Amino acid sequence: SQTIHQWPATLVQPVGSPLSLECTVEGTSNPNLYWYRQAAGRGLQLLFYSVGIGQISSEVPQNLSASRPQDRQFILSSKKLLLSDSGFYLCAWSQRTTEQYFGPGTRLTVT
């Protein structure tokens, strides 16, 4: 069966510090991968998605970036965090147009 992992589960970072969130998927190959952000009490905002290694599509211009160095690994990064980057970050995978399956999420607080 397929499993999706995210780490860390929680993170507190000062403004201006770098960020690296990791997502890995097990039990499937060549998945579509997605990064979402959910601000407190709000809906989900798609940040990036990837249909293959090295292929990243950005949905919202911002100080975040994503990379997919391996088939089942998706990384969200920032060189300098802003207060507005605080939120709940969710990674998801799917096989083409089927349903997306979400990871447990990372709660990021920028102080």
Partner 1 sequence: AQKVTQAQTEISVVEKEDVTLDCVYETRDTTYYLFWYKQPPSGELVFLIRRNSFDEQNEISGRYSWNFQKSTSSFNFTITASQVVDSAVYFCALSTSGTYKYIFGTGTRLKVLA
Residues that bind partner 1 (CB under 8 A): 32, 34, 42-44, 46, 49, 51, 59, 88, 90, 92, 94, 96-105, 107
Q: How many CB atoms lie within 10 A of CB 63?
A: 13
Q: How many CB atoms lie within 10 A of CB 83?
A: 9
Which of 39, 82 has the CB closer to partner 1? 39
Tokens of 76: 């969200």
CB of 13 to partner 1, least distance (A): 19
CB of 88 to partner 1, least distance (A): 6
Tokens of 65: 């970036």
